[in-house]
Amino acid sequence: MDKRILIPTDFSKNALNAARYALDLYAKLNCEFYFLNVFRLDHYTTNTLIMPEPGSPEFEAAKAKSEEGFAKLLDMLELHHDNPKHSYHTISSFNFLSEAIKQTIASKDIELVVMGTQGATGAKGIIFGSNTVNAMEKIRECPVMAIPEDLRFSIPKEIVFPTNYKSTFRRKELNYLIEIALMHQTSISVLHFKKETSLDESQEANKQLLDDILENVDHSFHILTDKNVARGITSFVESRKSDMIAFINKKHFLFNSIFSRPLVKEIGYDAKVPILALNES
């Protein structure tokens, strides 16, 4: 069965860049790419009592503008990414972005969402836009990958996987990480935050389980002693010229533990590599 990937787009340069990265990353697989554009109406606000209806001049004009954007996008992609393994679909939606993404994931059985980290309205200096952080926080149905602005695709040689070994690992959670690693012969560097002097019994068991799950992938274990986790991950990635960061998006405490909300943004300020948020099964 073809892999189904959703790429939200606002037709910005950054969104186009994310699309190109996804097409190159999955060039070897049969994929269906769904491009989603959420359109807005210029004069409509949440204070307006009357919702614009499909068929109204305002609604149809905004939808037509979205469809024009898709025509240009597909022309560009087909010019540079003529891959017989890939097919493209477009969806124009009048909705909130997070709701439109969730609806598309459900209706099209999407397996992965790929987003640019900043759209056309992104503030200078902030690479992780609020849409991307919200998507990583709210989307539980499938993994979310964020692609930094201006990043050109190169075959990933190393993916950094930060963990504290405090939760049990499941193969299902790591499927997408392993798939990318096997597809490109990529190594995985497991990075442990060392606060305690040694691992306790359950952490040791979890580390061994992870070792077993990654048995078919080239992988290694590393220790991080930097008290500032964001800075530690960033410097580890830079020093080794790693190509991606992947982490498991824990249900209840992702945004106040290892990957606290400020941390995701903090890494995002200097993000030079894609970040893959995997979901807890």
**Where are the domains positioned within the chain?**
3-147, 158-279
The reported pLDDT for the residue numbered 257 is 47
CATH 3.40.50.1370 holds for 158-279 = no
The reported pLDDT for the residue numbered 51 is 64
Pick the CATH number of 3-147 from 1.10.760.10, 2.40.50.100, 3.40.50.620, 3.30.450.20: 3.40.50.620
What pLDDT, in 10s, does the model give residues 57-104? 778 888 888 999 999 999 988 877 889 999 999 999 988 888 899 999
The reported pLDDT for the residue numbered 43 is 61
What pLDDT, in 10s, does the model give residues 140-157? 889 999 998 888 999 999
Q: Which two tokens stand for residue 84?
A: 């017989």
Topology agreement, domain 3-147 and domain 158-279? yes
Name residues of the chain where pLDDT drops below 50: 119-128, 252-258, 269
The reported pLDDT for the residue numbered 212 is 97
Tell me the pTM.
0.87
